[in-house]
Amino acid sequence: MSYLVIVESPSKARTIGRYLGSNYTIEASMGHLRDLPKSQLGVDVSNNFEPKYISIRGKGPLISKLKKDAKKADKVFLATDPDREGEAISWHLAQLLGLDENEPIRVTFNEITKTAVKNGIKNPRVIDKKLVDAQQARRVLDRIVGYKISPVLWRTVKKGLSAGRVQSVATRLVVDREEEINNFEPKEYWNIDVDLISPKQKRAFNAKYYAPVGAKKQETVPNKERADEILSAVSGAKYSVRSVKRSEKQKKPYAPFITSTLQQEASYKLGFQPRKTMSVAQELYEGVNIPGRGSVGLITYMRTDSLRISDEARSAARDLIVSRYGEEYYPPQPRIYKAKSGAQDAHEAIRPTYVELTPEKLKDSLSKDDYKLYKLIWERFIASQMASAVYASTVADIEANGHIFKAAGSTLIFPGYTAVYVDTNDTDAQTAQKGRRQKSLPELGEGDELKFEAIHSEQMFTQPPPRYNEATLIKTLEENGIGRPSTYAPTVTTIIARGYVVRDKKMLIPTELGELTTKIMKENFDDIVDVSFTANMEKKLDEVEEGDRSWTSVLSEFYGDFDESLKEAEKKLGDLSLKIPDEESDVVCELCGRKMVYKMGRNGRFLACPGFPECRNTKSIVEKIGVKCPECGSDIIKRKSKTNKVFYACEKQDCKFIQWDEPTNEKCPKCGGMILKKTRWGRKLYCMNEDCDYERSLDGAGKSNRSGSGRK
């Protein structure tokens, strides 16, 4: 028999093709083939919210090819990604190819390994209509919100704006945080600490002021008067040890990654934006070319909020931990993590598919970014299965004339999981990893008299909450139940791309456009930008997936109140036109001397002269990529051509350096030239020097020869 297996991407097709025989043909759908039309709502609201799907423009030839291949095959399997979106793509494929969706034609696997792929093919199932309905509900709901509210914003603010169900809430979070910062009133407080010496060991240490003797909680010193009062009381006093508490503190490892924690940690540790993290993770999941092994899927599915781990993976981790680190590094009982309430358990947590493929073994086979992210995932998973770190902790209460100072210290006595991985939030382990003893105290005993060295007091002020960065915004979205693993990164990318929020030194700051749009949304569509309302809607969509609700009933419940809000807003706003003041830059227009302002165009933000129409000067915003020009040493900047194609050039206009492919800081191992990165067709890293033949695949292939001319 002949079989046709349809997946979503060519790289996934290559990997799967290695595990199936010659009677299997593997084709890629290149994502969705059908969607709602862009030119109209595409939803018949009066007819039970019937969606009107059409073939996506440009996909016609591919659809024709897949139809021909399906007719030739004795059996068709749909092996798109194992989530709502993947299920919907399979359903659309079944519709287009005339397949019976009630037949077992759907194949899924959480990891792309030989065992998982063969098991998936052996155990096909019918398309899960509940998953499809959940995706349809989300898609139709988002379309209604976007296509109904956006025209209100066009009339009131400016053309081209858009409202989105999740993006509007994310923008509101950033706007509300900025308002909180602006309205913050700092409160004064004072820190008091004392330097003391233990006569026994002649070691100096520091103790912080706690409270008067007998107080049940720590005192906040509110002003200089109170600080001076305390200083006066303890100056010249005897300092003696009132009590010492010693204990052993065990710290458990963090759970393996889920989508949100992977995006957060990759942001902190690797400087990856969430979109980049998911792109690199997709490559690792679908398959990377490893010399001697071919295309190998290196991690499990990366869109998940489950902390479940298979027994096989846990056993493999145990064997590696015991053999590499020793029996004492494996806990008495295997570690099992529980996901938060409402998490979907369809997939495992994100982990390496083969723990024996350590980062060191793969370093020469992976691109720089692939290696960094794989190492992060591998180390986090192995650490998650290891024994706890153990710290010796000491807390001493020190009395001086009726006042208590506290000194605390801890020392790492068994590294446990920290031998492999330390989380960004793991402050104890971070300190230990850097080779510092954790404020370790000298040997102290009750009644010991201590030698006074110096006392310090410092005026402090409470600080406003920090602005969000991409990682903390995603964390907040997850904690509030807004969106799902597949939507976090696109949501953050969207609100930046549409000019509602700007990224400044990794911090997210709302623009005046974002603030004005949020104000209109709060005043007229409060439910849409309400955090709890949006979280509750996510729960209802999950109930559709679980079969507890019909997707049309969810939309019906939503649409009645929404339609009323829409009519009220249109009546209230009428022909009101709100102008957004231009944000001034520090760039001076070279034609007329005015300070240029930021504008939002079809292709993003740009600089324009405020003297329009007398002066029509515009400029693209310079985006440095952190790489120096090989010709003159100046910064290389990212630019766009008139056809909106990205290219890279030296910031100096008289320098001739220009490349279509992205320059990197990597040097060619053969000739020392600059390495360029081609990320579209023929994905690879290659030497810029035309006389050098060094190159390697971005998907992890080793070095290969190429001709030195004819590059595009």
Residues with catalytic annotation?
301
Query: 231 and 357 in contact (C-beta within 8 Å)?
Result: no
Find tokens 């999981």 and name the residue.
417
Cα 182 to the center of its chain, rounded Å: 27
Which residue type sits at 338?
K
Neighbours of 598 (CB within 10 A): 19
Element holding 322 (H helix, E strand) = helix 311-325
- Tokens read off for 156: 């009131």
The CA distance from 6 to 14, in Å, is 12
The CA distance from 402 to 321, in Å, is 52
Residue 700 DSSP SS3: coil
Element holding 400 (H helix, E strand) = strand 389-400
The CA distance from 407 to 398, in Å, is 8
Q: Distance between terminal CA atoms of the chain? A: 42
Residue 592 DSSP SS3: coil
- Tokens read off for 382: 């192995």
**DSSP assigned state of 664:** E
- Nearest Cα neighbor of 95 from 122, 132, 130, 120 is 132
Q: How many helices (H) and strands (E) does the chain have?
A: 18, 29
- Nearest Cα neighbor of 528 from 134, 114, 152 is 152
Element holding 504 (H helix, E strand) = strand 501-504
Find tokens 């595990």 and name the residue.
19
**DSSP assigned state of 465:** P
Query: 173 and 166 in contact (C-beta within 8 Å)?
Result: no
Bridge partner residues of 75 (DSSP): 3
Distances (CA, A) of 617 to 159, 537, 588, 589: 22, 46, 11, 7
Neighbours of 223 (CB within 10 A): 12
The CA distance from 296 to 278, in Å, is 18
- Tokens read off for 420: 């492999």
The CA distance from 429 to 424, in Å, is 9
The CA distance from 153 to 181, in Å, is 27
